[in-house]
Structure 1
């Protein structure tokens, strides 16, 4: 609402507002509503206001690129990928050194001493940094899938393990020889080449009496596919009686009444879907029941780092439960030395 129009056209006003039209009446003011300016009138007005020294308008913002950071290509920057493997077959490390011209230099070494998974990854990182230093590299970017190693080398985590402190100190001493060296964490799927080299070296058996043969590596120009097949187990798994009871509602032959009650009580927390037995967890999460051979494969994948950071004991058992697997001796198997 227009307040000026309200004051002049309202027939009856009260309070302080009533004094305003009385004070303005001596000036003989008439209120006229403002009309919109037509485009033709505005064009005629501008046509009559000619400018002699006309200059074109600058549409670009002056110095608009002053805060832009352009990426500089560094011809001397090398890239290092590393990974270590410690499993039942042995211990090995793999390193890939990549030149600025994208030339790949793969290196693999089998470790002939017992070590943990973190020690193997530190060995791989130390060897890669040493090889880069011997190759006269001055600027190096190091990538690994071990969260522990990368965060400790970046001094974001404290190194407390007595077995890892010598590795940390050695790599830091080598880092002083570079003009610039940085450590970065990458997902496991982005570090497959170094992981394959580490796994290959851990499975390679060394005969100390003979010369070690060279390993030939070939690259494919087209994708390769892997078909995973589960090994058939011999005998009956631990959940055979529970699964048989849930499907057929039949008890095993020659069992006592107490054993029947125990079987019914255990079966209450299990159910079968598409011939696969599942266990209901306390938070109603469904866990797939696996046999002995499948349990060994899961533990092996955990040790290889397929499920993230390597853990031991109760933390490993909780990680397997979160992954959706269950067997009777789960916690006991994870706590074995």
Structure 2
């Protein structure tokens, strides 16, 4: 029995077939003379029209240089100590805010209050992790991440070292989640460009829930202001007098 020298998938098939006393015979290439004989035996008529209409032609086109649209994610975290009067004890509170912008312009906003006290840097990391988990859950493939925390952004980029132990596990988890997004970028933006996520984080911090409370749903609407003509104050003699 001959054992053909094969590689890759053919080699694995050859190994499996050997245990059944079956020899794999690789397909031989068609020789040039055989192809010439076939064409000579089956000539194309001179008046035969040449048809270049290929089926599914549009589906077979691949644009390698076309850039894929990116989603944008803005994140922010907030933390503070709520003052309390004796004998009450001051309670730390923290919240995170996220804004996801689709390539078509649609916007999704998220605001979460954290169940445990966290520092500002920890809250920033919590916001980044929450955003990445949402992105992975909805299977976003191309993502640009923006945040205003110089420490968190530079630690994720490897520019800053993670000096504090309490931030090490956050940093490690962030890198693990970012690896699950095929194409991801992260950059720092000024606070002025991260206002919406910052407001959502502060809102969650101020409206922090306990574990027993259900989620809050807050609507932000547009209200028309009072017309200038109605802002004229009455004269003193027009104000009704009450004894």
> Same fold judged by TM-score > 0.5?
yes
1:179 Cα deviation after fit:
1.5
SS in 2 for 1:81: strand
Q: Does structure 1 conserve the Cα–Cα contact (< 8 Å) formed by 2:115 and 2:210?
A: no
Aligned match for 1:212, one of 202, 211, 215: 215
Paired with 1:97 and 1:148, the residues of 2 have a C-alpha distance of: 22
Alignment of 1:72-111 (within 5 A): 74-89=67-82, 90-111=93-114
Partner of 1:28: none
1:211 Cα deviation after fit:
2.3
1:74 Cα deviation after fit:
3.9
User: Unaligned regions of 5+ residues in structure 2, if any?
Assistant: 1-64, 83-92, 226-243
Q: Does structure 2 conserve the Cα–Cα contact (< 8 Å) formed by 1:152 and 1:158?
A: yes
Q: Does structure 2 conserve the Cα–Cα contact (< 8 Å) formed by 1:75 and 1:100?
A: no
Are 1:126 and 2:129 an aligned pair? yes
1:206 Cα deviation after fit:
1.8
1:160 Cα deviation after fit:
1.6
Partner of 1:202: 205
Paired with 2:69 and 2:145, the residues of 1 have a C-alpha distance of: 14
Are 1:168 and 2:171 an aligned pair? yes
1:92 Cα deviation after fit:
0.3
Q: Give the greater-gyration-radius structure (CA).
A: 1
Paired with 2:107 and 2:75, the residues of 1 have a C-alpha distance of: 13
SS in 2 for 1:163: helix
More relative contact order, 1 or 2 (CA 8 Å, 6+ apart): 2
Aligned match for 1:183, one of 183, 186, 191: 186
1:208 Cα deviation after fit:
3.9
